[in-house]
Amino acid sequence: MESESAPEAEKSLQRSEERSREIEAEIASDPAGFRLLTGDRPTGRLHIGHYFGSLQNRVRLQNAGIKTFLIVADYQVIYDRDGVGELKDNVYNMVADYLAAGIDPERTVIFTHSAVTALNQLMLPFLALVTDAELRRNPTVKDELAASNRPMSGLMLTFPVHQAADILFCKANLVPVGKDQLPHVEQTRVIARRFDERYGRVDPAHPIFPEPESLLSRSGTILGLDGNKMSKSRGNTIELGMTADETARLLKRAVTDSDRHITYDPVNRPEVSNLVNIAAMCLERVPEDVAEEIGDGGGGGLKKLATAAVNDHFAAHRARRAELMADPGALRDVLRAGNERANAVAETTLAEVRQAMSMDY
Ligand code: TRP
């Protein structure tokens, strides 16, 4: 944040990391005490960075017994672009990847913004609880603005408030996030607190909205094949839905360096180390070991090993997602069922909000 100096930001990140370790221990002893919400913007296809950075973790938390809500954030698609692009196709592919990765639609509520009217309505009272200065200094909004290369839309400025509605409509108390989403969870906590201060409660023992906590994801970041952040717009991603051949072709073009001796040294050899790391994650081995095995095999040997590792690890996932994509009717039914459940939850919360705000006529 603007007001936060670099050492202070570092300290608050450390606090979040410590708290995340404590939460993991609480999850192990009492998973039923948690309600989790997280999700993705369907602006493109999910890639292996999403898989290792968040999908795998969501499946683990779901399987640990935590009630989970997974939002396909379709209204977030439009804050920085003119049209919706390949929206529907992206949404179906996203749901297929969720299911193929092990998200169970019986246990986890998978839903879209656009279908849950009462969630979106929470945005109005929440907007009254924040100032424009607060929104303008949100570092994620600033980054998104810079990346978008266009003037700030009203929705981009206020999307953290909309995201607070995502989290609070189902009274989630746990949000698994990467570092870039920490400011949103902080903003959500502020909104929950201010709502309680201004409008009070229905049940005097509990505020209507809990203050959610972030759970920082544990795995390190996977870079794109050019050494930059993995992102669709850079064309440097290995999408979960790619074929083995497409994966091989992409990895062949990946950036390496001229030293034939392969080492794991993320500071001095970021591109080489990233490929080593991708292979290591797929093989569930430590990267140093993988590097040693390749030894003097050079970039060619590294790419060959990484390609085999990715293609083996994702073969089952890819087969499952292909089956799912072959039956769009079934995917649509999963979304419709999730939307129905999300609507019921959102209506209940909105009824409490109306009551607290004396708008229950
Ligand atoms: N903004 C998140 C992303 O880009 C997606 C998202 C939407 C989200 N609503 C959320 C994440 C609520 C956590 C909580 O990936």
- Report pLDDT digits (tens) over 290-304: 999 999 999 999 999
In this structure, the residue with its CA closest to atom 13 of ligand 1 is 38
For the domain 6-221+328-357, what is the CATH code?
Answer: 3.40.50.620
Torsion, CA 23, CA 24, CA 27, CA 29, rounded to 10 = -100
Q: What is the pLDDT of residue 219?
A: 62
Residues of the chain within CATH 3.40.50.620 domain(s) are 6-221+328-357
Banded model confidence at residue 1, pLDDT cuts 50, 70, 90: very low
Per-residue pLDDT of 18-76, as tens digits, reads 999 999 999 999 999 999 999 999 999 999 999 999 999 999 999 999 999 999 999 99
H or E element in which residue 35 lies: strand 35-40
Structure tokens that stand for 242 in this block: 């790619």
The percent of residues above 90 in pLDDT, for the chain, comes to 88
Banded model confidence at residue 220, pLDDT cuts 50, 70, 90: low
Whether 37 is in the pocket of ligand 1, judged by its Cβ within 6 Å, is yes
How many whole angstroms from 249 Cα to the centroid of ligand 1? 31
Give the SS3 label for residue 176: strand
Is the separation of the CB atoms in 255 and 226 below 8 Å? yes
How many whole angstroms from 299 Cα to the centroid of ligand 1? 36
- Distance, CA of 248 to chain centre: 26
- Cα–Cα distance for residue pair 98/55, rounded to 1 Å: 7
Is the separation of the CB atoms in 130 and 190 below 8 Å? yes
Would you say residue 225 has pLDDT above 50?
Answer: yes
Per-residue pLDDT of 243-298, as tens digits, reads 999 999 999 999 999 999 999 999 999 999 999 999 999 999 999 999 999 999 99
Whether 71 is in the pocket of ligand 1, judged by its Cβ within 6 Å, is yes
Banded model confidence at residue 85, pLDDT cuts 50, 70, 90: very high
Closest by CA to 95, choosing from 206, 241, 265, 197, is: 241
Q: When comparing pLDDT for 97 and 182, which is higher?
A: 97
What average pLDDT does range 190-210 have in this prediction?
97
What average pLDDT does range 80-85 have in this prediction?
94
Whether 175 is in the pocket of ligand 1, judged by its Cβ within 6 Å, is yes
- Distance, CA of 306 to chain centre: 25
Q: Domain spanning 232-326: which superfamily?
A: Tyrosyl-Transfer RNA Synthetase (1.10.240.10)
Question: Which of 109, 171, 181 most suits a substitution to test ligand 1, by most atoms within 8 Å of the C-beta?
Answer: 181
Q: What is the pLDDT of residue 4?
A: 58
Burial of residue 223, with CB atoms counted within 10 A of its CB: 0-12 exposed, 13-18 middle, 19 or more buried: buried
Would you say residue 2 has pLDDT above 60?
Answer: no
Q: What is the pLDDT of residue 350?
A: 98
Residues of the chain within CATH 1.10.240.10 domain(s) are 232-326
Would you say residue 341 has pLDDT above 70?
Answer: yes
How many whole angstroms from 46 Cα to the centroid of ligand 1? 14
What average pLDDT does range 339-352 have in this prediction?
98
Whether 76 is in the pocket of ligand 1, judged by its Cβ within 6 Å, is yes
Would you say residue 102 has pLDDT above 80?
Answer: yes
How many whole angstroms from 159 Cα to the centroid of ligand 1? 10
Q: What is the pLDDT of residue 218?
A: 66
Banded model confidence at residue 12, pLDDT cuts 50, 70, 90: confident
- Atom of ligand 1 lying closest to residue 176 CA: 13
Structure tokens that stand for 175 in this block: 């949000």
HSE, CB side, 13 Å, CA atoms: give it for residue 273: 12
Banded model confidence at residue 10, pLDDT cuts 50, 70, 90: confident
Whether 156 is in the pocket of ligand 1, judged by its Cβ within 6 Å, is no
pTM: 0.95
- Cα–Cα distance for residue pair 253/241, rounded to 1 Å: 19
Is the separation of the CB atoms in 282 and 316 below 8 Å? no
Q: What is the pLDDT of residue 65?
A: 97
Q: What is the sign, positive or negative, of the torsion defined by CA atoms of 282, 285, 288, 293?
A: negative
Closest by CA to 149, choosing from 226, 80, 224, is: 80
Closest by CA to 92, choosing from 46, 159, 38, 37, is: 46
Phi first, then psi: give them for residue 278, nearest 5 degrees: -60, -45
Q: When comparing pLDDT for 195 and 147, which is higher?
A: 195
Banded model confidence at residue 234, pLDDT cuts 50, 70, 90: confident
Report H helices in the chain: 6-29, 48-50, 56-63, 87-101, 117-127, 132-136, 139-148, 154-168, 182-199, 244-252, 270-283, 287-294, 298-325, 328-356
Distances (CA, A) of 294 to 22, 227, 284: 38, 20, 16
Q: What is the pLDDT of residue 18?
A: 92
What average pLDDT does range 346-358 have in this prediction?
98
Name the average pLDDT for the chain. Answer: 94
- Cα–Cα distance for residue pair 138/122, rounded to 1 Å: 20
